[in-house]
Structure 1
Amino acid sequence: MPAPRRSAALVLATAVALTAAACTSSSTSSGSAATNPAALTAFTPTARGQLAQVTWNLPTGEPLSLDPAKAGDYSPSTVLSNLCEPLLRLKADYTYGPGLAASWKWTTPTTLVLDLRDDVRFWDGTAMTSADVVASLTRQLDPATRSVNVDALRYVSAITAGGPHQVTVAFKKPDQLFVKTLTNGFGQVSEAAYLKAAGAGYGTAKGGLMCTGPFKLASWQAGESITLTRNTAYWDRTLQPKVENLTFRFITDGSTLTSALLSGQIDGSYEINTATARALAHSSVGHLYQGDSAQTVFLTPTAPTSPLADVHLVQALQLVLDRDAVIRNVYDGAAQELKTFIPSLVWQHGPAASTYAQGYAALPAAPGVDVTKAKALVAQATTKSRSITVAMAAGDQQSLQTLTFLQAGARQIGLDVTIKQLQPTQMSGLFYDPSLRQGLDATIVQGYVEMPDPGSYVEQMTDPGSLFNWVQYRNASVSALLARARSDADPARSAAEYNQAQALFTKDLPILPIAAPDERLFLNDRLSGAPASFAYINMPWAAYLGGTGKGNG
């Protein structure tokens, strides 16, 4: 989250080949036609020129850690995707291919063999071997690591080196999801010796990192900036960075960011909000791009005692929230309506895309406004309370506008919604610390699905043992179907099993889907090349970035 993603945050991009430049699609990213007439772009035009310095912004603030095992949010992942590489590389359309692992195969239903590249070196010149991979993966089983990815290891019984460039993963039961987890932070590889020496300080401003990516961590000045430098010895000769120095700033205020982008103090940023997008739409200094996304916005109760743990009240709120108005006014049309809280980019380009599409099409349409029916549902609710306190991040105007729409609708059916704005650290912390959810009944989630599998996200909300199953949801049929989908080696059959689970949890899981926003990226005219799809979050996006010949390099 700021949402459950993979195993600690709920965390998408468009159908074009990784090498395509400025290809566009007017199709949907989330299961219904886009309201916004703007085409979605997977990549910005191919960069040609070298740049000595680029300054980039992280609009969600400074990372708490750059340890891949602890990176469960936008800011750390945006930085880390250029530093620490995963075993498999995510593509702009949410498919994936070889990364640090040149190939992989299931030798038995419970044995996965990864063949590693033999030409990869860490920034310090040390060759990457299977020992580094084993250390990077197995450390996440140690509670002291506090890994946000531990669910990826749910069915793993052993991870061993089968030679200097081969790793074998043994499972207690088949787990097809595991391969997909290797595309994100869980699969990012660090140097074993450096990990041991750094200990708990790994990934901090003081402890540093040791990885293999196209950029190296040069400095981290807490509260001010993080600077990366080009890795001139990077193994992938097709993806040599054109940017020599990349500095990240932490401007979270939208007005300040707008001014910095317009003045050229900041060269670019992902996650441009609507107010900033309006100010930048006709800018003479740069371009605003809109890409496909795996982001998802929804309302979820924060405790089993919440009034919204009663699905009748959630369904009632669905009937008084005017989603069309939210998409039109909050997102300026740059979002899609959702039938469930999983955006389609997660599955729409994979081997079972047609099966998933059939399951999504079979779901009931998102309901329109019906106050009379909503009042009847409120009357059926067994909970006595009609007051609901909803948390959001302070300063997040899009969440505030959305909740204001919800508040007005709720008032028509006798529900009193109080909006509580939390400071960023408290808002981020409530997803992991139950004490920070005290006094709250619900929160608006701006999450993202991080890997190309819808079940990876759904499990976080439905599994009885999940960190994010705050309402203690239990549906034995849903759990059994998702477990079968996770273990099934046949993609179409796995998708069909997921569809069966989806048909059930959309009826009784107390979550209110709101929208799937498109990705919005701003680039100064002197820059180009970066992916515009949300897949940037786990791609070495800055390695594509370079000059256009305009402005100073």
Structure 2
Amino acid sequence: MKKTHISVATVLIGGLALTGCTSPEPTGGGEEEGEAREFELVESTPSASGEIDAIDWALSEEPNSLDPDRANGGDSDAVIANVCEGLFRMQTDLSVEPWLAESVQQPDDVTFVLGIRSGVTFHSGRDMTADDVVWSLERHSRPESGESDEFSNITAIEKTGDMEVTLTLEEPDPQFEYRMAGGAGIILDSEVASAQGQDYGTAGSEDACTGPYVLDEWNVGSNLSISRYDDYWHTDGRALSESVTFTWGDETTVANMVRAGNVDGTFLAEPTLVPTIEDVEGMSIYYGASTGAEKLIPTDRGNATDPRIRKALSLAMDRQGIVTAGLQGIGEPWKSPAGPGAWGYARDTFEAAYDAIEGVPVSPEEADIEQAKELVAEAGVPDGPIVVASNGTQLRNVIANATVSAGEQIGLDVEVRMYSDAEYGELFSSPEARADVDFVSDDWYLSKPEALGLYDNLLPGESSNYLGYEGDEYVELYKKAAAIYEEDERAGVVSELQALALDEMLWIPLASAPITLVLDDALTGAPTSFVYRTYPWAAGIGAAS
């Protein structure tokens, strides 16, 4: 029989109590009925007992770049995480520890003095220096870099000793170590990366990193391989597999790879594939915490700019139907823009604030529909249809159709517009591409367990603030939270920020789905949570006992 790790349990992930969730019977709102499921969240699979020759791994799409400043998406990150390393590293228990930075001192609230680890070699064989650290951070901070937003509060990056770098901030930042544990903290070989210029990170280029694996070969459109770096500086973290080969395809292709036994594992883009592969002999399915939550993201096109329209749609959305039909019951209706994995500290505070949220029903009742109709009457029905985008996947279609159904119940005309995957991706980066769309849906995950990191996306001027929202109270509350290092106090203010975002319904939360790992029973040692996007998850995979 197929082994699927599904059970009712409360487990500890990094000291955080996370409870397996049971989905009730379907209540509508989706294309097809799924089954009620129960699932357990685990931190990682058991440690491996020995080395293996190779791993074959499936990605949901080909990486667009292995340059952390140009990479876009979880699949690029999943490869980079095994090749490159940062000043700090998030562990599988969601804690963060100094990594390429051996030590950190904080003489005041806006100064971080990093002692750079000696004895670290790049894959070129050259020793890492403080100059490489300064060069890398300055590269990440360039306006054209995908990591530049993580440096908006940093006013100076200076070499202050042979192996010491000091960063000066404009304002206190309790997220600093989290930021430096992601792409913004990756240290590159300045000689190798600068010599390649714009070609760095593309197929045929040499990597410039320090991690347990080195880029081996990238055959565009076919596969990408990495091999163990035998001179890796962290001997205890030596990779257990000699090589990893990545192939990719859409969700159907990935499912077929698993069913045919062509791959050893994959992190599923969505849990919708689980029913098609859970009977595969010799493969197991694991679930881990995610920082993401499925949500409807409004644009400034016009029909969704009135918060009363957004709040009315939220009241009428059938979230349980979305979970059942769109996520195959693997998830739960969700009331917050940030997923449960974003509560990396002061969890009791976040849970209490979450429980107090109103206006985000699991499934709408008559009172919710009546309240929504009143809001629409106050705002006035938009002149044209509200347009929601879909890329044709099961989950996006279910969410789009659930929005149509919600609109019908409260007197709003909602229309679905279909896009190819490439076109759908453009909606998130191009104002011109989304000029004819009122809502796009996405899980919008974070690379760090810090809910505050989600709410900066809604600040005025942020490229991801598609709505063009400008709220003075919101800005002031964000600044207040962003200056608090004491975690319990910060969690309280972040919860106030969450309440304000929901009062304006800046993003409409819908559902939370776990990270889904599929792994051959002969293998073990992989983490199961979102940390795989920044942690060298493949290095720990080896033989099962």
| Structure 1 partner of 2:375 | 377
Q: Flag the 1:485–1:510 CA change in 2: closer, same or farther, 3 A.
A: closer
Among candidates 445, 448, 451, match of residue 451 of structure 1: 448
Work out whether residues 309 and 510 of structure 1, in 8 Å CA contact, stay in contact via their aligned partners in 2.
Answer: no
Work out whether residues 283 and 518 of structure 2, in 8 Å CA contact, stay in contact via their aligned partners in 1.
Answer: yes
| Structure 2 partner of 1:57 | 58
In the TM superposition, 1:351-362 aligns within 5 A as 352-362=346-356
Question: With structure 2 as the length reference, what TM-score do the two structures score?
Answer: 0.90
| Structure 2 partner of 1:46 | 47
One-letter code aligned to 2:448: M
| Structure 1 partner of 2:93 | 93
One-letter code aligned to 1:203: G
| Structure 2 partner of 1:27 | 19
One-letter code aligned to 2:53: A
1:366 aligns with 2:367: no
Q: CA deviation at 1:29?
A: 8.9
| Structure 2 partner of 1:179 | 177
1:423 aligns with 2:424: no
Q: CA deviation at 1:210?
A: 0.8
One-letter code aligned to 1:422: Y
| Structure 2 partner of 1:222 | 220
Work out whether residues 111 and 166 of structure 2, in 8 Å CA contact, stay in contact via their aligned partners in 1.
Answer: yes
1:141 aligns with 2:141: yes
| Structure 2 partner of 1:511 | 507
1:520 aligns with 2:520: no
In the TM superposition, 1:369-518 aligns within 5 A as 369=364, 370-382=368-380, 384-394=382-392, 396-461=393-458, 463-518=459-514
One-letter code aligned to 1:455: L
List structure 1 runs of 4+ shifted beyond 4 angstroms: none
Work out whether residues 29 and 344 of structure 1, in 8 Å CA contact, stay in contact via their aligned partners in 2.
Answer: no
> Which consecutive unaligned segments of at least 5 residues does structure 1 have?
1-13, 19-23
Cα distance in 2, alignment partners of residues 316 and 142 from structure 1: 41
Identity %: 28
Cα distance in 2, alignment partners of residues 428 and 436 from structure 1: 9
| Structure 1 partner of 2:31 | none
Q: CA deviation at 1:295?
A: 1.8
Work out whether residues 58 and 247 of structure 2, in 8 Å CA contact, stay in contact via their aligned partners in 1.
Answer: yes
| Structure 2 partner of 1:312 | 308
Q: Flag the 1:29–1:484 CA change in 2: closer, same or farther, 3 A.
A: farther
In the TM superposition, 1:94-173 aligns within 5 A as 94-143=94-143, 146-173=144-171
Cα distance in 1, alignment partners of residues 472 and 280 from structure 2: 53
| Structure 1 partner of 2:30 | none
> Which consecutive unaligned segments of at least 5 residues does structure 2 have?
1-10, 25-35
Cα distance in 1, alignment partners of residues 454 and 428 from structure 2: 14
Q: CA deviation at 1:177?
A: 2.0
Q: CA deviation at 1:72?
A: 3.3
| Structure 2 partner of 1:294 | 291
One-letter code aligned to 1:296: A
One-letter code aligned to 1:56: W
User: Which deviations, in whole Å up to 9, do the C-alpha atoms of 1:112-160 show, x marking residues without a partner?
Assistant: 11112212111111111111111111112333xx211212111211101
1:79 aligns with 2:79: yes
Cα distance in 1, alignment partners of residues 391 and 427 from structure 2: 11
Q: Secondary structure at the match of 1:473?
A: coil
Cα distance in 2, alignment partners of residues 363 and 446 from structure 1: 20
One-letter code aligned to 2:504: D
One-letter code aligned to 1:516: S
Q: Secondary structure at the match of 1:390?
A: strand
Cα distance in 1, alignment partners of residues 116 and 326 from structure 2: 46
Work out whether residues 141 and 149 of structure 2, in 8 Å CA contact, stay in contact via their aligned partners in 1.
Answer: no
Structure number with greater CO (CA < 8 Å, separation at least 6) is 1
Q: CA deviation at 1:47?
A: 1.6
Work out whether residues 447 and 530 of structure 2, in 8 Å CA contact, stay in contact via their aligned partners in 1.
Answer: no
Q: Secondary structure at the match of 1:270?
A: strand
One-letter code aligned to 1:27: T
Cα distance in 1, alignment partners of residues 37 and 46 from structure 2: 21
In the TM superposition, 1:534-545 aligns within 5 A as 534-545=530-541
Q: Secondary structure at the match of 1:279?
A: helix
Q: Flag the 1:28–1:90 CA change in 2: closer, same or farther, 3 A.
A: farther
One-letter code aligned to 1:445: D
Cα distance in 2, alignment partners of residues 308 and 167 from structure 1: 46
Cα distance in 1, alignment partners of residues 257 and 544 from structure 2: 20
Work out whether residues 20 and 38 of structure 2, in 8 Å CA contact, stay in contact via their aligned partners in 1.
Answer: no
